[in-house]
Chain A
Amino acid sequence: MKPLIQPRDYTDPACFRAELERVFLRRWIFAGSTGGLENDEDFRCIELGGISVVLQNFQGTLRAFNNVCSHRFARLQTAASGNRQLKCPYHGWIYNGDGLPYAIPHKPLISEITPATLCDYRLSRWHVRTVGALIFIRKEHAGEVVEDDDLERQFSDYFTPLTELAVACGELVENTDHIVNANWKLVVENTLEGYHVDCVHPTTIGKLGMAGLTKSPAPIEASPSHESASVQGSRFTFAGQNSAVFSPLDATVSERMDRTYKFLAARPQKLSGYRHFYFFPNFVFASTRGESFSIQRVLPIDERTTQLTSFLFATNGLGELTKMEAALKRQFYASAAEFVQAIFAEDAAICEQVQRSIGFAHGVGVLSDEEERICAFHQAYQAALAANP
């Protein structure tokens, strides 16, 4: 297979601007978890290619807006997260959950603002959907109709399995931001193939003993809790612009884990191996045996810099644990968090190396069968760029 994205597209500022407009501002993107946003006026900001977006709780309803005052363009929320009104620190305009300024100091002195023109000063809005504890946002555009099932259609056949897995997410045990000095596409591509595992992760993922690749054209089962027990080897599936891989674990390892981690026996999702979903463009959801859930959010900063945020959730539904089981649970998830951090560091280092050399590439390179999901990503990317905004 040949890659469809040219090496120059990993370094070109004009290409980056086109991606921002046509890829990230035209579909649902993963914005983070609901943790820390449970109470009225809780907020969190994310950065997307220079655009600051504020997620804020308005009396129990989560809303998202461009974090820019309509008056003189100051940032409304200047901290990364916290609890305060959506109030501009410059002149004190306060906005409601519809994005309208409902409190404007010395309003009579601004003759242009009347009940009829107030909507002209509405904040730029984003649609918000939650799936379990996961938040997805989509930029609103004038005249564009977004159907109620738009997120379901974007996630295609993976929406149902994602929902089932997302509701099994319990305590957030790790949440870390990584600034990777590489284009966001390199970061995504790195998550889509296991070809690099032996070289980049010999002492982490490489020790898990996952089976090799077999290919299956069939879509992934709708319910991951009822998968076939006869699966042999890793296999890819594709749904819309998204892709997934399922890798069974070595049976001996799995049986030993069952005996050792008896406290996990009541978990609601008993996957028989490792499942990894990529949702175009910026969301990765993975789980090993339904014991923990590793999520990645890829947010481009510029054409050479990406913010990669990892979330590690424990499973819920474990019930009452003995003192020993609780201690084992703490060790288990601490170890999982350490494992995830090690992998992220290894992946970030190799992505940064590629970024430094990709500007000198000749040709477009080549992809192995193990990198088929990268090819699917390239197709989705090209389709997004070709679409009329």
Chain B
Amino acid sequence: MPVDQFVRHFENAVEGITPGSLNPDTQYHKIAQWDSLALLCLLAMIDCEYDVQVGGMELKSCDTLRDIYGLVAAKKLSAAA
């Protein structure tokens, strides 16, 4: 579950993002495409690709895509424990 792969999934999930244009340190909430629809697409992508549920409120503690990846990874770990 490398973080780069997570970034690619994010680029595919949110409409209008050029593949390869983002990196793990991108502040996702500052990209032009970020809005409530993009948020739903992100949550659905995490649900689909990583089989964990993340709530919109939980993302408030995340600044970058790497932060979200860390949140997802932590959820995966606690689900497996």
Contacts and interface: CB of A to CB of B under 8 A. Distances in A.
B27 to A, nearest CB: 22
Given A259-B15, A260-B15, A330 B37 contact: no
Nearest to B53: A330
Interface string B15-59: 100000000000000000000110011011101100000001000
Interface string A299-339: 00000000000000000000000011011101110010000
A328 B44 CA distance: 5
Contacts of A328: 40-41, 44, 48
A331 B40 contact: yes
Given A260-B15, A324-B48, A331 B37 contact: no
A332 B36 CA distance: 10
Contacts of B41: 260, 328, 331
B57 to A, nearest CB: 10
B47 A260 contact: no
Interface in A205-234: 207
B9 to A, nearest CB: 10
Contact of B37 (A256, A323, A326): A256
B48 A335 contact: no
Nearest to A207: B36
B76 to A, nearest CB: 16
A147 B75 CA distance: 60
A260 B40 CA distance: 10
Given A259-B15, A260-B15, A327 B44 contact: yes
Contacts of A331: 40-41, 43-44, 47
B40 A256 contact: no
Q: Interface centre among A324, A331, A332, A335, by most B CB within 10 Å?
A: A331
Contacts of A332: 40, 44
B15 A256 contact: yes
A1 interface: no
A265 interface: no
Q: Interface centre among A257, A260, A323, A332, by most B CB within 10 Å?
A: A260
Contacts of A326: 48
Contact of A257 (B37, B43, B44, B45): B37
Contacts of A327: 44-45, 47-48
A326 B51 CA distance: 12
A323 B48 contact: yes
Which 9 interchain pairs have the tightest Cβ spacing? A327-B48, A328-B44, A327-B47, A327-B44, A331-B44, A324-B48, A331-B40, A331-B43, A323-B48
Interface of B: 15, 36-37, 40-41, 43-45, 47-48, 56
